[in-house]
Structure 1
Amino acid sequence: MIHIVIAGPRGNMGKEAVKMVMGEETFTLTAVVDRKHDGARLKDVAPDLDADVPVYTNMEECFQKEVCDVLIDLTSPETGKQHMVTAFNYNVRPVVGTTGFTDEDIEELTKTASEKELGAIIAPNFAIGAILLMKFSKQAAKYMTDVEIIEQHHDKKLDAPSGTAIKTAQMIAEVREEKTQGHVDETETLQGARGADFEGMRIHSVRLPGRVAHQEVLFGGQGQTLTLRHDSLDRTSFMPGVKLAVDEVMHLKTLVYGLDQLID
């Protein structure tokens, strides 16, 4: 039995995570950490969840009072980083679904996890289909090196480009030499029209109400194009990946960035 604490239980992702954990026979939800409602029961502040577990506003107090093996954190990069550090101090293994971590953040957290021999996972995207899209993109980039990425998310998302788009570009860069795409004399008549530049790849971010999480990777070649696309139509699409991460993190002794590291 894996004892789990969820941070951010009232958000869209958090609610689905609560339902997923409560529906798994090998998982037990012991508590949640929220920015308010300290001392309440989750079922009283989120009646649709029907989860009779305590709510804490302080992560350290939660770990002191509750049994916890894994922390599922679905908050923000700044809060998520603080929660990870606290989790390491209490020998709790964090699974974090927040994007926006810097390379320096990941390096620092990896060092701590390795020193403590504690598993940890930061996943820019928990959707299995999105992970496969990244892997297929890396494979395609060996043969078609002109690449552009278009990612679409809801208009409440704070970071752009998305962590998924950046991770995709990083994976492609492992098999593709940096190159300038487009015409050598290309000029933007409106600044930013060509999107962000990652080693010559262009990344375009769309933010609209009604979107959830969508990404296209477009490849161009002589006389042909290839388009790979993934769509998360609702947030239940992320839950199989969250479950996989919780199961796998129990066997890790360092930090893993991206579920692609766990899927063949």
Structure 2
Amino acid sequence: MKSILLAGAFGKMGREIQKLIAEHKDWSLDAILVHEHFPENYSGRAKIFRQLSEINQHYDLWIDVTKPDSVFENAVWAIEHNTSLIIGTSGLKNDQITKLKSLADKNSVSGIIAPNFSISAVLMMYFSGIAARFMPNVSIEEIHHPDKLDAPSGTARITAGILADNGASTKTVSTSADGDKNIIEKVLITSKRKKDYVAYQSVDFVNEYETLSISQNSLDRKSFMPGVELAIKKANQQQGLVVGLDKIMGLK
């Protein structure tokens, strides 16, 4: 039986992950770390912790879907207590990821940082990396729900890195006022927050006489659950802390 601690269990992602865990007989949600309001009608059997200092036993796996201001501290705690982990929270900076990977190596802890659990989003980033080698003038547009705290999104930042690694950048920066604009890895990212969106991203390539757009749209948070399921199965099989669901999907 895989013993799981879920941090951020009562957010929208956390509630879906609770349902996913309950569907597997060999997984057990044994603890919850509450950063947000605790619902009065909770009837589960998981032990409830409100602070890291309250956690007094070991769990096989830590799943974190909290907030950018708490995820790094949570991850450090999990690694230092030899707990395999899955980080699904956006907002980790590159230097924080580097520190977590180093700490995981030092403590022989395995896990996955997943900027996006959507299988289609991972494929979008993968295909964009291929296209970047042939169409190096590119920009990104991402649209998320109004409650998303970070902009650009973690997925957009990772995508920009993939594009840059394959020689692409934005040659002409748009002057349109629509959306929040940032240059990451020399790639323009336009971020928008709109009602009725979960997660959308388009990677737009331009040549002199042609264009190519590779887009992905998550219509419901249920779309993330196959990726979460795969991460739970594979987290403790990794060598250290890997970044990206593609690392466990066999993409090269």
After TM superposition, the score normalised by the length of structure 2 is 0.91
Distance 2:153 2:176 in 1: 25
Aligned-residue offset at 1:194:
8.5
Q: Does 1:25 align with 2:11?
A: no
- Aligned residue type for 1:29: L
Question: Aligned in 2, Cα 1:196/1:20: closer, same or farther, shift over 3 Å?
Answer: same
User: What do residues 216-263 of structure 1 show as CA deviations (whole Å, max 9, x unaligned)?
Assistant: 111112321111111111111111111111211111231111112222
CA contact (8 A) 1:80 1:98 kept: yes
Partner of 1:78: 69
Q: Does 1:247 align with 2:230?
A: no
Aligned-residue offset at 1:177:
5.0
- Aligned residue type for 1:52: R
Aligned-residue offset at 1:58:
2.1
Partner of 2:5: 5
- Aligned residue type for 1:146: N
Aligned-residue offset at 1:91:
1.2
Match of 1:167 among 150, 158, 166: 158
Aligned-residue offset at 1:193:
7.0
Distance 1:187 1:251 in 2: 44
Aligned-residue offset at 1:156:
0.7
Secondary structure of the residue that 1:228 maps to in structure 2? Answer: strand
Partner of 2:205: 219
Secondary structure of the residue that 1:121 maps to in structure 2? Answer: strand
User: What do residues 141-167 of structure 1 show as CA deviations (whole Å, max 9, x unaligned)?
Assistant: 111111111100000111111000010
Distance 1:149 1:188 in 2: 14
| Number of matched pairs | 250
Secondary structure of the residue that 1:126 maps to in structure 2? Answer: coil
Partner of 1:57: 50
Distance 2:176 2:242 in 1: 41
Distance 2:98 2:53 in 1: 23
Structure 2 counterparts to residues 61-140 of structure 1, below 5 A: 61-62=54-55, 64-65=56-57, 67-140=58-131
Structure 2 counterparts to residues 184-195 of structure 1, below 5 A: 188=175, 195=181
Secondary structure of the residue that 1:45 maps to in structure 2? Answer: coil
Distance 1:15 1:148 in 2: 34
Distance 1:146 1:120 in 2: 34
Match of 1:151 among 124, 142, 147: 142
Of the two, which has the highest radius of gyration? Answer: 1
Supply the RMSD in Å over aligned alpha carbons.
2.1
CA contact (8 A) 1:5 1:70 kept: yes
Distance 1:219 1:187 in 2: 14
Secondary structure of the residue that 1:195 maps to in structure 2? Answer: strand
CA contact (8 A) 1:4 1:28 kept: yes
Identity %: 35
Secondary structure of the residue that 2:237 maps to in structure 1? Answer: coil
Question: Aligned in 2, Cα 1:46/1:244: closer, same or farther, shift over 3 Å?
Answer: farther
Distance 1:52 1:3 in 2: 13
- Aligned residue type for 1:45: E
Secondary structure of the residue that 1:250 maps to in structure 2? Answer: helix
Unaligned runs of 5+ in 2: none
CA contact (8 A) 1:10 1:46 kept: no
Partner of 1:45: 40
Unaligned runs of 5+ in 1: 39-43
CA contact (8 A) 1:113 1:253 kept: no
Secondary structure of the residue that 1:108 maps to in structure 2? Answer: helix
Distance 1:71 1:189 in 2: 42
Distance 2:103 2:223 in 1: 31
Distance 2:96 2:63 in 1: 18
